[in-house]
A and B are shown apart, each in its own frame.
Chain A
Amino acid sequence: MRYLPLTPDDRVQMLGDIGVDSIDALFVDVPASARREGFVDLPHFAGELEVERELAALAATNVAAGSAPFFCGAGAYRHHVPASVDHLIQRSEFLTSYTPYQPEIAQGTLQVLFEFQTQVAALTGMEVANASLYDGSTACAEAVMMTKRVTRRNRAVLSGGVHPHYVRTTQTLAHAEGMEVVALAAAVDAEDAVIAAIDAGTACVVVQTPNVFGTATDVTKIAEAAHAAGALLIVVTTEAVSYGLLKSPGEMGADIAVAEGQSIGNALNFGGPYVGLFACREKLIRQAPGRLCGETVDADGRRGFVLTLSTREQHIRRDKATSNICTNSGLCALAFSIHMSLLGEVGLRRLAALNHQQARALKTALEGVKGIEILTPRFFNEFAVKLAKPAVQVVEALAAKGVLGGVPYSRLDPGAGLDDILLVAATETVTAEDIAAFKTALTEVMA
C-alpha cells in the first residue's frame, strides 16, 4: 500500500521491541463485543489509476462552469484566478503544515496571516481583522453572537437583503444561544427598512451590500441610527471583489464587517471550502472569534509574528471562550492573500470595474427579453430578475440549452414565496458571446 511505509519485517521487529507478540495485543482495551475480526463491507485497496478513473468519471457527469455560458452568483462567484496562486498554495510548507503553534518554525504561515489581516482590514475599511473563519455565513453568525457579548443585549435585527443561508445559519446559532433574531421580509431594496426595527434592546443590525438581490446601498444612515440606539452595525458582503468599486463598510460606519472571501483566490468548489473574512473596530477585538496573528520580536530582537490574544480562545478559556472555533480556513486565506497581492489596489479596482461593466452589458442584453423584468435598482455585478414563469423551471430549461443561467431565489429560501425571482451575475469571466447565448436561450425559454 503506497501510503504505508512499514514492511511486514518492520512490524514484526517493532512488536518485538514493544514486547508483545501480535498487533491484537495493542487493542486489548477494546471491549470484546466491539472487536471486529474481518474487514468492513467496503471495497479493498485500489491503485492510483483505478481511483483516478472512478473520480474522473464522476466529475465528467457534472457541467463545469467553464464549459458553458455561466451566470450563477448568490454568494459564490466564478472569477479568474492566476495560475501562480494554485502553484504557491501547493508548496509543501504551506499545504502540509498546521496551525502555527510553534512560531519559530511557522513564520511563513504567520507572516502570511499578518499580511492577510492587514489586507482584509484595508479592504473592509476597518481597523483590525482576524486570521479567517470558515466562510461568510458562519462569520455572520459569529459576529451576531459577538455583539451580544459586547452590548449585553439580546436582539439582532437582520435586513431582508441578507443572504437567506446567512440568516438561517445565524438563526440556528442564535436559537441555541438564546438570542432573539428579527429577520425582516425579503425585498430588493430592503436595507433601509431596518431602521424602524431598531429598539433599545437591539444588540446589532445586520445589513448586506451588495445584498442578495444585488442591490448596493449606502448604509451610513443605518449606522447612525444603530449607534444612536446603542446597537452595533454589522455589514455583510458576499462578493469581496465589490470592495474594489463600492464604499467600504468602515467608511459607512460599520462596527463589524464580515464577508465571503471565495471570490478572491478560491474556486467555486461546489460551495466549499471557502474563507470567511472578519474585521472590526480595534476596541472590540477582545470579544472577536478566531485566531489572531500579531507582531513581536524574537530573542535576538528580530521582527517576527505569533498567534496572540489567545486567552479568548477555546483551548485556554474553554467554556468561557468567545467561540469554539479551532481549525479555520488557512489555505483558502493564503490563496486569497496571494491573489490579492497580485492584484494590488490597481488590479482590484480594474477587476471590480470590469465586473460592473459586464453586469451592465448583461442587463442591457436582457432588458428586451419578453416575460422578464429587471428589479435591482443599483448593482455591482449581480441583479434580480422577475420572471413570468417559476425560476427553477427556467434554469433547468436553460441548462438543457447549455446555459447555466443564474440561481433561483427559491433555492436559497424555499418558503419565501418568491419562486419567480432569478438572480443573475456576470463577472470578468463572461464574454460577449456568453451574454448573446444567454439572451437567445432565455428568449426561447420565456416564449
Chain B
Amino acid sequence: MSSMNSVGRPTAPAQTNDYIHPTLTGGRGLLQDEALIFELDGWGKTGVDIPDADRPADDLAGLLRTDPIGLPGLSEPEAVRHYVRLSQKNHAIDLALYPLGSCTMKHNPRLNEKMARLDGFADIHPLQPVSTVQGALALIDRLAHWLKTLTGMPAVAMTPKAGAHGELCGLLTIRAAHEANGQGHRKTVLVPTSAHGTNPATAAFVGYSVVEIAQTEDGRVSLADLEAKLGDHVAAIMVTNPNTCGLFERDIVEIARLTHAAGAYFYCDGANFNAIVGRVRPGDLGVDAMHINLHKTFSTPHGGGGPGAGPVVLSAALAPFAPAPWVVHHAGGFQLAEGPSGEAASAFGRMSAFHGQMGMFVRAYAYMRSHGADGLRQVAEDAVLNANYIKARLGDVMSPAFPDGPCMHEALFDDHWLDGTGVTTLDFAKAMIDEGFHPMTMYFPLVVHGAMLIEPTETESKQELDRFIGALRALAAAAKAGEVDRFKGAPFHAPMRRLDETLAARKPKLRWKPEANPPLAAQ
C-alpha cells in the first residue's frame, strides 16, 4: 500500500527526514530571508506623512545640511514586515526557557507594559513644573520605599541606568565618603576571581586599582586571603551575593566585619538578588551599597540588551553622598533635590541627565505591587527550588561544579563530564539551540573550567523544566555515545549556522556601505 490518498496527496512525511532540500530563494517556510533596509530601494520613500514646511530662515544660511544623508525610508506595510521577519530570527523568553545564568531571564508581565504607557507616566517631561508631576515623584518615592524595605537599607540612589551604572554610582559614593572622611588615600578595590567583568572594569573606571581575592575549594571568598589583602589602602570590596557560582557566601557577615574593621566599605553586586528577595535583607548582612537590576529581579524587559535600571541602596554612612537628584517630601508635596546646594549639597555629582529610568520604575513597581511581600518571598523560593531541581536531575549525567550542598537560583556545571567526548561547552550549547532552548551562560564564571551556568528563574513551570531537563539528558547521552557531528556543526536548525567571529573581528564591517556611488540625495 502506498500512503497516497485518493487525490494523490501524501498524508505522511517522506522517510528521508535527514535530507534537507535547499530552497531556491533562501527562504525556509515561515522563516524569511530579509534584506537590509538599505537594500530595499527606499531612497526616495517615506512611511510618515508630514506636510511640507516653509524654507528655513535666512539666519541659518551656511548651517544647512546639503549633502545626501543616506537614509532609506519604508512605507508602513514594508516596515512592519521587515521588523516582523527580523523578530522571527530571535529566541525570546516568551518562546522558551532562556537559562542565561546571572541574567535572570524571567517572564515580563504585560501589565507592566500597559502601566508604563499611561500618558501620565510616558508623556510627561522630566523638567515640567514639579507641581504637574506629583504622581510621578510619588511613584519614585513608593518604589524607593519598597527597595529600601526589601533590602533593609536606609537610602537608595534611583538614577543609575543599568547594573554597571549602579556599580559606578556605588563606587563613586564610596569614593566621596572616603574623601570626606580624610581617607582619600585608599585606592584599592578587592574583587573575587569569580566576579562579573563589570566589577573590575568599574573599579578601574573610578580610578582604583583592582586586587583579586582567591576562592575556596567550595566556591566562596577565601576569608584568609581577604584578611591578608585588607588594609589601610583598601577603599572597598566588591562581592556578589549570592555569588556567580550560584552559591550563598556563608561567611558574608564575617566578610563585612573584616572589611569594616579595615576601614573599607562593602559593595555588594546585587545581580543575583532574585535568589533571596523577601527572605534575606542585604542590610542584615553588613552591606554598605548594592545595586539592584530592575531588569533582572523585578521583571522589566531585557529588550535585546536594555534599557535596564540599577538603583543603588545605601547605608546611612554613604547616603549623604548619593548623586543628585533625589525626591524629597515636604509639607507642600514632593520636590526634587537637584543640587549642588541645599539638600543635595554633599552629592558626589550626577550620573546622567534627568532623574533615572522612569519607564522601568513604573514596570518594576507594578511587578512588586502585584507580588507583594508574600509573592516576592515565593519568587525567591521558587527560583531556588527550580535551580536545585535542575541540579538534582542533571547531576548524574553532567558534573556540578560544587556538588555538595544546595545552590541558590542558578546551577553551575563544569565540563569535566565531557572529557574524552570531543565535545566542548560551546558545542554543547550550540546543540541546545537545535533542541529549541537558549544556551546557558558559558565560560563564566572564569574560576570553573568550561563553565555552564543555568538560571531557570521562578517563572518556569515544572513541565517546561522537565522538557528542558529531558533535552539536556538526551544531548548528554548523545555526547557520551560519540555523536560528535551532532555537536561540532551545530546549530543545524537555527536561522543561521555557526557564525565566523574571527572574520568579523579581523576585517570589521560595522555599517552598510553602498557598493559604488553613494545613494542619490532624497530631495
Contacts and interface: CB of A to CB of B under 8 A. Distances in A.
A96 B301 contact: yes
Nearest to B253: A31
B122 A267 contact: yes
A155 B175 CA distance: 21
Contacts of B351: 138, 169, 172
Interface in A377-422: 377-378, 395-396, 399, 404, 407, 411-412, 414-415
Contact of B79 (A55, A84, A177, A294): A84
A364 B313 CA distance: 49
B511 A344 contact: no
A121 interface: yes
A169 B352 CA distance: 5
B422 to A, nearest CB: 18
A166 to B, nearest CB: 6
Interface stretch (B131-139, B226-234, B412-420): B131-139
Q: Indicate the size class of the contact surface on chain B.
A: 35 or more
B207 A91 contact: no
B260 interface: no
Contacts of B93: 92, 96-97
Given A320-B204, A341-B37, A91 B87 contact: yes
Interface stretch (B10-18, B63-71, B474-482): B63-71
A324 B462 contact: no
A439 interface: no
Q: Indicate the size class of the contact surface on chain A.
A: 35 or more
B197 A3 contact: no
Interface in B45-101: 45-48, 50-54, 56-57, 59-60, 62-65, 67-74, 76, 79-80, 82-84, 86-95, 98, 100
Contact of A343 (B47, B53, B205, B375): B47
B400 interface: no
B24 interface: no
B80 A273 contact: no
A291 B306 CA distance: 12
A218 B44 CA distance: 28
Given A95-B301, A104-B495, A297 B500 contact: yes
Q: Give the interface centre of B76, B113, B355, B370 by most chain A CB atoms within 10 Å.
A: B370
A86 B171 CA distance: 36
A194 interface: no
Contacts of A72: 125, 127-128
Contacts of B36: 111, 114-115, 118
B459 A95 contact: no
A334 interface: yes
B191 to A, nearest CB: 8
Contact of B354 (A18, A271, A325): A271
B60 A66 contact: no
Contact of A269 (B26, B129, B359, B496): B359
Interface in A305-319: 305-306, 308-311, 313-319
Given A17-B389, A26-B388, A118-B511, A3 B86 contact: no
4 nearest A-B pairs in the assembled complex, by CB-CB distance: A344-B73, A59-B120, A271-B354, A331-B303
Given A117-B510, A317-B201, 4 more contacts: A62-B132, A117-B511, A176-B207, A415-B340
18 contacts: A14-B385, A47-B370, A54-B369, A57-B135, A78-B123, A106-B89, A118-B36, A123-B71, A137-B352, A176-B175, A315-B197, A324-B167, A325-B165, A341-B82, A344-B72, A350-B46, A354-B53, A360-B57
